[in-house]
Chain A
Amino acid sequence: DAKTTQPNSMESNEEEPVHLPCNHSTISGTDYIHWYRQLPSQGPEYVIHGLTSNVNNRMASLAIAEDRKSSTLILHRATLRDAAVYYCILRDVGETSGSRLTFGEGTQLTVNP
């Protein structure tokens, strides 16, 4: 999997939007951008993924730069429950086996009340 770079930590206030950046300058044309998060003492949880276009779901939005070398996970109104480690992961569209996710260090998001 191509490498991603994320800030070690970010802080937000409750009910404010949060923009979590991810750089992936070596992304290939066939890499999907996935985001997972891990709440304290829990397993990772899928958040969202995209290829080229911006994506929205009930949890978050994913904004992908036009050159695809970076992306931003947007939480529209952070809650205390959103405090977690957020992982940005690239997965090649050519993978056909039940293939691995390669987790990095992620971004520890702290949400202040």
Chain B
Amino acid sequence: EPEVTQTPSHQVTQMGQEVILRCVPISNHLYFYWYRQILGQKVEFLVSFYNNEISEKSEIFDDQFSVERPDGSNFTLKIRSTKLEDSAMYFCASSKTSGSAGELFFGEGSRLTVL
């Protein structure tokens, strides 16, 4: 069964460093998402991406964050200068369709620890 894959599974970084989290969405999917989950808290939406541009972003997704699809298969989330509060599980997701009837397929997540 096709799946969304994410790398790395765990990254430890120093505060202020740049981090890139990578995702390979399911191959025929057109819509891509990043979510995060701080330990013990709810899963939170960060951003959605379609046709090489951001279609929606949350208030969490500030100027420190960026996304891109550099080569038609990978979908990346960059945090330019990490803060302690960026420590969380980051989940990539993809879907074939947009809209309310579409189902999202999530990856296993990348755990980011900022020291």
- Say whether A and B bind each other: yes
Do the beta carbons of A43 and B107 come within 8 Å of each other? yes
- In chain A between 34 and 68, which residues have their CB closer than 8 angstroms to a CB of chain B? 34, 36, 38, 42-46, 49
Shortest CB–CB separation between residue B51 and chain A, in angstroms? Answer: 9
- In chain B between 32 and 61, which residues have their CB closer than 8 angstroms to a CB of chain A? 32-33, 35, 42-45, 48-50, 55-56, 58
Total number of A-B contacts with CB less than 8 angstroms?
78
Interface residue count for B (Cβ, 8 Å)? 29
Given contacts A45-B106, A46-B105, contact A98 B45 (CB under 8 A): no
State in angstroms the CA–CA spacing of A49 and B42 once bound together. 20
The prevalent SS among residues of B at the interface is: strand
Do the beta carbons of A93 and B108 come within 8 Å of each other? no
The prevalent SS among residues of A at the interface is: loop
Q: Point out residues on A near B: beta carbons under 8 Å.
A: 30-32, 34, 36, 38, 42-46, 49, 87, 91-105
